[in-house]
Chains A and B, each alone.
Chain A
Amino acid sequence: MLGALFYILIFPGFLFLVFSGLTAEFIDRKIYARLQNRVGPPWFQAYADFIKLLAKEDIVPAESNPKMFKVAPVFALTAAITAFLYIPLWGKEALLSFNGDVIIVLYLLTLPTLAFFIGGWYSTSLYSRLGAVRSLMQLFAYEVPLFMGILASALLADTWSLKEMVVFYTAHPWFWMFNLMGFAISLVSLLGKLEKVPFDIPEAETEVVAGGFTEYSGRMLAYLRLTLDVEMVVGSSLLALVFFPFGLNLGPLPGFLLFLLKVLFIIGLISLLRTVVARLRIDQMINFCWKYLVPLALLQILFNLILKGTLLR
């Protein structure tokens, strides 16, 4: 009982995630700043922002639906944190695991976006509603390639469980290289989920101010921002696990360090990508996802099916 509580509340659960999420935000912002020739924030900036927001007044717009407005951020954060419990950090064991947990993780990662939509929609401000509709529209575009990219890797391992995938890829050490295209597709789709340039359309400040987040303030805004940070960690961890499943039998400490390196690498890639491109328009974004990412993902699946039929027979 105590052990379970420790797992859920402290490590690798809530506290660890808050810590790593805010650190990830700092790393992302620092890399982004350095690439743009800026100094960037000090290491405690993300924590300071978070703590300051917690101390601020929560303003609920009179026109909004207060229940939905208040529930959405908590709901989003909970979903993102829960997703993390299914991801094995090192070795093969996650806190929770069953056959089909890949689907659960992806599903739980979709929920924050839905919560953003609900929160934005029930704020009733024009900008919020536009932002909310945009995040939902975007969801339908990036979710499919993201699912397919991860599915391709699972298909090769012939399992729906993250644990089983780890077992498979440890047995076939170089097979992860076949999934590199899937990784690229999933990484780009992840940018959409994290609402980062070029897919920061739902919160494009020059168009819709802050999109669905416009009316949020204080603690609820802190939760929303933390959700995005946690999502970044969870998403990167998932990609690290699914696409770079090597060195997983090193034991706790080296395994954990290697895992951190992989996650850092992915966060670095995210920062780099958002430095070198401009924001797309929503129609261009949807076009791009369906015209390029989905066919490429299909190609990866096809490739993996052929691999399975030949190499693994």
Chain B
Amino acid sequence: MHDSKDFKIPIGPQHPALKEPEGFSVALKGEKILGVDIRLGYNHRGIEKAAEERTYVQDIYLIERVCGICSHSHSTCFVQAVEEIAGLAVPNRALYIRTIIAELERIHSHLLWLGVAGHEIGFDTLLMYSWRDREVVMDILAAITGNRVNYGMNTIGGVRRDIDAQQAEDILKALTILEERTKYYIEVATQETTIIKRLSGVGVLSREDVLRLDAVGPTARASGVKRDVRADDPYAAYAELSFEVITDDHADVYGRTVVRVKELMESYKIIRQALKNLPTGLLTVRAPRKIPVGEAISRYEAPRGEDVHYVKSNGTEKPERVKIRAPTLANVQAVKHMLRDRYLADMPIVVAAIDPCFSCTDRTVALKEEDCARAKVINWQALHAFSIEWYKQQGIDFTELNKKLQDRLKG
């Protein structure tokens, strides 16, 4: 076999454990992980640069597409910053609707995570169950916003769609179903032996490490760090709603699971309160096309943790600079630490436990950057030739194979 020193197994950029392209190179000794090397950046779409070249209104929809799962998080975070610069007083009803959508999004994201976590530890039944129940909240989101993801609810100065009485009732009905199912999941996650065996003691991140490595969201809260933007730096309607910041002191993947399922219960609570106290009034205030000079930073508790947007305006209809820091980028540093001295079998669940969303994480740079490494427009043939060359450098030669293919196509 190989020398243990160079027995490195690639997990990604394409691997069944990862739903998105990201490269982990895991050095192994037997089944034990000696070290992990993370290469990020396969998903760059140049959103920050692109945002500078578009108007604020266009940017809302662009930034919503930073991430599919937490689309509302990013767009809300962005419009909050713009509204702060423009000094807009957003109507109360809009703030409440934003909060309701935000919590519905958290529910769908956490249920999605629960399923993925189940899959990573080979418990596909949990995946099938929680994704089935997730459809309930997806249907509600589709009924309110018209979309399952990328809701397009936000606009600068308010929201674009109202929640009427019938919809409110539907939400409440859905919540009753979801609450019952969530109680069942809490039971499963805390009592099923094989789940506990696979989760507890895995991917330990102590309180000190959380503070040192700047972890955010459920990852931080599972280590007993009470860090939740909704409570610390309230936005939207959170200041007027009462909820608990769920923490746990297991500091491992099990703790993160417990935090997430318990957070689901808090989300139901928040939505119920918000629907009950939903103020009447306008949905939007008129926003100027040109945003005055200024800068603002906006924080938002996305399902995965703190999302940060910084916006600087220059008095035109286009922003001077938009900076996005997605929660996964803050947590990815901690993954390396959590994997130390663990087994290869723990790798998928430890990575999944931060609920990674790599398309959020990689968002910057230019639009055509994958191709413009050679600083020219690359057409299809050139790209094809380039890829052959690239693989040759990696020691993989496709020339023979291509020839055969060509012959076969001709013949």
Contacts and interface: CB of A to CB of B under 8 A. Distances in A.
Chains A, B in direct contact (C-beta < 8 Å): yes
A129 B192 contact: no
Nearest to B349: A206
Contacts, number: 82
B123 A283 contact: no
Contacts of B192: 276-278
Given A205-B16, A206-B122, A207-B344, A278 B198 contact: yes
A200 B119 CA distance: 13
A282 B198 CA distance: 11
A159 to B, nearest CB: 37
A68 to B, nearest CB: 16
B197 A280 contact: yes
Nearest to B346: A281
A207 to B, nearest CB: 5
A206 B16 contact: yes
Interface in B1-31: 1, 7-10, 15-17, 28, 31
Contacts of A282: 31, 343, 345
A277 B197 CA distance: 11
A301 B344 CA distance: 36
A197 B122 contact: yes
B125 A201 contact: no
A36 B132 CA distance: 10
B221 to A, nearest CB: 24
B157 interface: no
A284 interface: yes
B31 A198 contact: no
Interface residues of B, number: 34
B128 interface: yes
B347 to A, nearest CB: 7
A168 B233 CA distance: 77
B9 A279 contact: no
Which one of B124, B125, B129, B348 has the highest number of Cβ atoms from chain A below 10 Å of its Cβ?
B125
Nearest to A129: B1
A20 interface: no
Given A281-B198, A282-B345, A127 B128 contact: no
B297 to A, nearest CB: 37
A134 B344 CA distance: 12
A127 B10 CA distance: 9
B120 interface: yes
A209 B15 contact: yes
Interface in B113-152: 118-126, 128-129, 132
B128 A278 contact: no
B272 to A, nearest CB: 27
B194 interface: yes
A209 B16 contact: yes
Interface in A172-206: 197-198, 200-201, 204-206
A276 B125 contact: yes
Contacts of A207: 17, 344-345, 347-348
A128 B63 CA distance: 41
Nearest to A137: B31
Interface of A: 35-38, 126-127, 129-130, 134, 197-198, 200-201, 204-209, 275-284
29 contacts: A37-B128, A126-B7, A126-B10, A130-B28, A197-B124, A206-B16, A206-B119, A206-B120, A206-B122, A206-B348, A207-B17, A207-B345, A207-B347, A208-B344, A209-B15, A275-B125, A276-B192, A277-B192, A277-B194, A278-B121, A278-B122, A278-B123, A278-B126, A278-B194, A279-B122, A279-B345, A281-B343, A281-B346, A284-B197
Top 8 A-B residue pairs of the complex, sorted by shortest distance between their CB atoms: A279-B122, A278-B123, A36-B128, A206-B17, A206-B348, A278-B194, A281-B345, A277-B194
